[in-house]
Structure 1
């Protein structure tokens, strides 16, 4: 049984402040494994907790060696894995190491006392913020609290950007995560899954499988198709995830993309290297095909008129869009 607790109806001033509020509200007296929401990772939690206890750490930060430090928090550790210095999002030339903060933390319950210290209260007062990377971790290291770095060996993706999200999706589909290699409904030995267990969804599933075998739907690479999907003849899907109740029109192309639940994609549409949100409608026709590509993101409940072209463009929810857009962000009125 899993008991889920939510943050009380109190506004927080950052990630560390959220931890402070919840640990105090629920009177937490055991170590906490805190996970930032934009992470996909493989880790042995048992090993992590043993490391934390053995070191006598107030806080353990899960670190991962990276090639590019851009946009990441970077830690400098000694031979005992104690973090001596932490810099949030440094320039490459200023980075103390290649060990990046993954946004995975273990916090001892004693941290509740630290949250009440004068220095922490001063940070909140001056900056109107208490962020783990910018504020709280540097405060702990400068105050000589025992903060340690646990180096992650398994896969880790920060999926906080569309590009990273798509890279993680493709890694997952190609079996790059040992903890999740089957999504249910796998077709023979191919890396292709068509989901559906109920009587109604199984009928849709068998229709799609039959079309794939007959060559009426072209599949390349690793593809996951959800339940109750309708895919017309001539569709080509490459290294993509198609979520539940999605409809894809005749001759459409979906490549290296994530298409979420209940999307409608019209005839001859082309979606490449992009993310299509839930309940979106991509109108398209043979006469006026719609083209979406180059890491574009279409948010939930958006309608794209036929003949549109989106290149590296992001569209916020609940909009009706027509025209050609390159390198733009379209926000609602």
Structure 2
């Protein structure tokens, strides 16, 4: 039954809640534990037997970039093989250009275009829902389906239109009560929380390559581990679980814990990194402190700088997570605290104290 169901991933927003990370990258393609969010979503469904996917995206960046990354799904097939799952029938489809008025409108267009007569599971491109798909479907089938695909013009968006329509037209509405994992990772704080949850093994259907687990809950790519092994064994580099480090990285004497380090990252001596995500190609110079923060790709953190959510000299904003965008240079001796728009600037001068 699950194999015949289509999973429709709706991607239409500009990702403004995740600025500045989404200025040059669609939100679903932001890495989560060194793998794009949208691949993490697909992974959860593929592991449970789903094989048919439709990407209903809007806008050039969302549509073209996602297709470039996802392709025909060959990377997902290889990834599943590392988990002992052989797949020969994975099907990725991409809806044509369509100026939809919301997620429901995009789904209706995709269903009509691909002539879908089977059931569909609709998932947002920033929703990590590690739940039991079979149990969820069983619940809905027992309720004899809440809502069938109809040509209803008033329903443009699932969130804004569908629930009010169902209530106003006396449909029976049920919620699937569960103890599984679900999170909208479209904000910095929730993104960082789900990253930590994946590291700590709280998601049943997302697993790292067991061959890369060098110590308990410490995953390091092979070439990086070979480069750092002597320093780790002599405790010049202190690693505290959980931790994931990508390939082609070099780390001098440093303390790193509960963090994700991307590929081709350089971390110089004296750095302390905790509860953080560091993107690919980033350079962290000497004696920096990175705590509860997100660092974009191809960025430089100048020596003696502190990027820290616990900096409390200023009034807190809604998000307590400092976010540094891609291709940004933080000048030496800088302090960055809370998440605000000034961090969008490409260069932050040494004398600036941003919050």
TM-score, normalised with respect to structure 1: 0.70
Residue 230 of structure 1: aligned partner: 250
Residue 34 of structure 1: aligned partner: 122
Q: Is the 8 A contact 1:56 1:146 kept in 2?
A: no
CA deviation profile, 1:76-129 (whole Å, cap 9, x unmatched): xxxxxxxxxxxxxxxxxxxxxxxxxxxxxxxxxx4232x34xx44xxxxxxxxx
Name the structure, 1 or 2, with higher relative contact order (CA <8 Å, separation 6+). 2
The question of 1:244 aligning with 2:272 is answered no
CA deviation profile, 1:152-206 (whole Å, cap 9, x unmatched): 2212222222111111111211122233344441123x2211113xxxxx2x321
- What is the count of residue pairs matched by the alignment? 253
Residue 300 of structure 1: aligned partner: 326
Query: Kindly tell me: are residues 32 and 148 of structure 1, through their superposed partners in 2, closer, same or farther at Cα, counting changes over 3 Å?
Result: same
Partner SS state of residue 256, structure 2: strand
Q: Is the 8 A contact 2:132 2:180 kept in 1?
A: no
Cα RMSD over matched residues?
2.1
Residue 254 of structure 1: aligned partner: 273
- Cα distance in 2 for partners of 1:145, 1:23 equals 22
1:271 equivalent among 290, 305, 316 = 290
Residue 79 of structure 1: aligned partner: none
Matches within 5 A, 1:104-119: 110-113=148-151, 115-116=152-153, 119=154
The question of 1:216 aligning with 2:254 is answered no
Q: Is the 8 A contact 1:300 1:318 kept in 2?
A: no
Unpaired runs of 5+ residues, structure 2, are 1-88, 310-320
Residue 176 of structure 2: aligned partner: 150
Look at both structures and tell me which one has the larger radius of gyration over its CA atoms: 1
Matches within 5 A, 1:1-333: 1-59=89-147, 110-113=148-151, 115-116=152-153, 119-120=154-155, 130-184=156-210, 185-188=212-215, 190-196=216-222, 202=223, 204-232=224-252, 234-284=253-303, 289-294=304-309, 295-314=321-340, 319-322=346-349, 323-327=351-355
- Cα distance in 2 for partners of 1:280, 1:21 equals 40
Partner SS state of residue 207, structure 1: helix
Query: Kindly tell me: are residues 181 and 25 of structure 1, through their superposed partners in 2, closer, same or farther at Cα, counting changes over 3 Å?
Result: closer
Partner SS state of residue 271, structure 1: strand
Q: Is the 8 A contact 2:220 2:247 kept in 1?
A: yes
Partner SS state of residue 262, structure 1: coil
Structure 1 stretches (4+) deviating beyond 6 angstroms?
none
Q: Is the 8 A contact 1:313 1:326 kept in 2?
A: no
Give 1:226 deviation, angstroms.
0.9
